[in-house]
Chains A and B, each alone.
Chain A
Amino acid sequence: MSLEDRYRRLLRAYPRSYRARRGEEMLSTLLDSAAPRQTHPSRGDASDLLMGAIRERLGLHAVPGFAAGLRVAGPVCLAFAAAFTASNWIAGHRNTASTVVAVAWLLAALAHTVGGQRARGLTAFTTGAAWLSTLGVSVVAITTPPLIIDTDGFSSTVHLYGEYVVALMFGLIAALATAAPQTSSGTLRTVDRAGVAVAVISAVAAVALVESATYRVAFNDLVFTTPVWATWWLLAPVTALIVGVVRAVTRRATGGLWATGLLLVPLPMIGLDSFDLLGSWHLPSWSLPTQAPSASLSVMLGAVVALAVLIGATRAATPAPTRDSRMGLAIAGSVGLDLAAALNASIFAISTANNDGPTMGTGWTAPLTVGALLVAAVASRFLPAWPVRGLIGFGLVTLFWVVLDGGNSSLYPELYATMVPLLLVALVAPRSRGASRTGGAFIAAGAAMALFVFPLADGSDVTYAHMVVAPAIGGIVLVPLLWLGGVAVLTGPPRGVAAATVAFAAGLFWALQQLFTLTDSRALAAVIGGGIAVLLIGRAIRRLAAPRTPTAPALPVDAATS
């Protein structure tokens, strides 16, 4: 196979239309820049092309500073994932699954810290492997709880979700970041490698300290050790790391702000996990770990509502939105429609499998909503905007009907509540063929979810399937996807404000949701406090990241200089 064939194979990662437009030209540039007797694409070129293809497929190529932000956020997220899984293990949740996951993430952190720039391939491989093992373990943990038992004899699924959702989310950023173009700054490399090591070590040390002080929460006859304080302690070094890294490297505001956005949006998830482990947080339903996934959905809901408000505000403030923000909105709309359709269809599939018709309303409204949304999602690929908007509007109306009629639909309040803002965003978003093409993947994810849940719900305990599996998969699969789409929307002008507002609103929303189900003033105070802290951190980082030269119209050259 010649060099040309190898490059052609790499270029196949790009969407077909892009290849038709740019493929030949890129190929000649690649061949022109190859060394005389080169037979294989260089690793740098290969990862640059693959990352370019991912950005092209996600529609993120047009987003200024994204790669730079990813580069800053990646190592921090790697530290998060490693520290979380390791502290979980140290705190006593020891079993085969948690050991595999913790070791995998620690290896990835080690490869990053020791190998650095020279061993990028190794870091990418170990990070990817760690992410996949976490995904595998969480799927196993959810579907077959008896297989994974803690040393204290209690089913691990109860504790492990939170960690795994957090590890999956942060791990995704870390894995993506390994494909981002690397920086030439030696200082950054040292700072970020040292930072990962410091963050992991301090987290592990914190947990070990807690353990030696035998901090335990007694609940009935069971005694749980908990890494809850360690989780909060971890925030201090990691936040310091974020600020330090951003300060050290950000020459251009956009990269730093992207990093802030990437890091802060999922931050409420950390609190979610801690509270989940603190037995008193949801005593009434302790045996059913519904709080973690439903809270993750609330975070998602909060983020969507905040984004919708932001989009409205941005539109009102700027009569002609920039191409970037329109593209981001188009992606969010397309993803939102696909997610809503998939969510709705999977709920319908589970309910049908369980023969609990009332859950879905009185007979005919539910299939109507499911049908309208699925047709809208598919039709958005080829029909013009207005018929699709009509279908979405129809789906929204019947959705309210289902909820009002449903009687039992309180089983899924957060799922229904999530669909409404998703559909509202889809209703107002401009359409873009590029954006909706990526949505196909989300539809597939939704279909897989329905197929996966269907037999399980049919064969196993109905309550278990309803209360645990569907929301848990929703939490694990949908939250990261939606949140990626949400980050894409944050390309409007005041990015730092936007990121901080989203994080704050997500925290607040979660608090409100908890308030309606459980009145725990401590939790409310903690969440609002956390939200304010996030807002302040966002502001501080924005100031640090602000350009040091007097402001002037900046040249759009981020992609070139980053």
Chain B
Amino acid sequence: MLAALASESLHGYGIIQRVAELSHDRVKLRAGTLYPALDRLTNDGIVELDREEVVDGRLRRYYRLTDSGATLLAADLERQRRNADAAAARLAARTTTPAPARRAPRVRPA
């Protein structure tokens, strides 16, 4: 979810779409799951309300990542990158069989 909100502010359906996109359709968020998560992220000061819009009589609230949320996301990405690097280094050190092509680190949808 954090990754979904990293570059721009999104409304509920936008987040669902972006998360599906980022996870290659592995993670399908639903409203009953999305909003409690948003509640928690908002309470923890990681995400904040950006603006409200009414489109076709429907209320849309847009959320964006706060600065502390961005720091948290960066720290987590850094951690995952280091893990991936460490694993790749181990794999490269394997001498008996040729190392398979390095795959891009899988980023957990956040």
Contact = CB atoms under 8 A, between A and B. Distances in A.
27 contacts: A24-B58, A24-B59, A25-B35, A26-B12, A26-B31, A26-B35, A28-B12, A28-B55, A28-B59, A33-B16, A48-B32, A49-B30, A50-B32, A61-B36, A62-B39, A550-B83, A552-B75, A555-B2, A555-B72, A559-B33, A559-B36, A559-B40, A560-B109, A560-B110, A561-B27, A561-B109, A562-B33
A49 B59 contact: no
Contacts of B19: 560
Nearest to A29: B12
Contacts of B76: 552-553, 555
Nearest to A31: B58
Interface in B59-100: 59-61, 72-73, 75-76, 79, 83
Nearest to B43: A323
Interface string B1-45: 110000000011100100100000011111111111101110110
Interface string A25-58: 1111111110000000000110011111101100
Top 6 closest A-B pairs, CB basis?
A52-B32, A29-B12, A28-B58, A32-B13, A48-B32, A559-B37
Interface residues of A, number: 38
Interface of B: 1-2, 11-13, 16, 19, 26-37, 39-41, 43-44, 46, 55, 58-61, 72-73, 75-76, 79, 83, 108-110
A45 B31 contact: yes
Given A28-B12, A559-B37, A549 B75 contact: no
Among A26, A53, A555, A556, residue most surrounded by chain B Cβ atoms (within 10 Å): A555
Contacts of B11: 28-29
A300 B16 CA distance: 42
A562 B28 CA distance: 10
B7 to A, nearest CB: 17
Given A32-B12, A552-B79, A27 B32 contact: no
Contacts of B41: 556
B32 A549 contact: no
Contact of A556 (B34, B40, B75, B108): B40
A557 interface: yes
- Does more than half of chain A's interface fall in helix, strand or loop, or is it mixed? helix
Given A560-B33, A561-B110, 12 more contacts: A27-B59, A45-B30, A49-B32, A50-B32, A53-B32, A181-B32, A184-B26, A552-B79, A553-B76, A555-B110, A560-B19, A562-B33
Contacts of A550: 79, 83
Given A25-B59, A550-B83, A552-B76, A48 B12 contact: no
Contacts of B16: 29, 33
Among A44, A62, A560, residue most surrounded by chain B Cβ atoms (within 10 Å): A560
Contacts of A52: 31-33, 35-36
A45 B30 CA distance: 6
Contacts of A29: 11-13, 16, 31, 34
A184 B28 CA distance: 9
A339 B12 CA distance: 39
Given A48-B32, A62-B39, A28 B60 contact: yes
Nearest to A11: B31
A550 B2 CA distance: 21
A53 B36 CA distance: 10
A6 interface: no
Contacts of A22: 35
A25 B37 contact: no
Given A25-B12, A29-B16, A555-B72, A51 B61 contact: no
Nearest to A549: B83
A44 B30 contact: yes
Contacts of A24: 58-59
B43 A61 contact: no
A62 B36 contact: yes
Interface in A248-294: none
A225 to B, nearest CB: 47
A556 B72 CA distance: 10
Nearest to A61: B36
Nearest to A26: B31
B100 to A, nearest CB: 21
A29 B2 CA distance: 18
Interface string A336-354: 0000000000000000000
Nearest to A53: B32
Nearest to A50: B32
Contacts of A28: 11-13, 55, 58-60
A27 B58 contact: yes
Contacts of A62: 36, 39-40, 43
Nearest to B109: A561
A184 B29 CA distance: 12
A61 B27 CA distance: 19
Nearest to A56: B36
Nearest to B12: A29
A560 B37 contact: yes
Among B26, B37, B41, B44, residue most surrounded by chain A Cβ atoms (within 10 Å): B37
A556 B29 CA distance: 16
B27 A560 contact: yes
B23 to A, nearest CB: 9
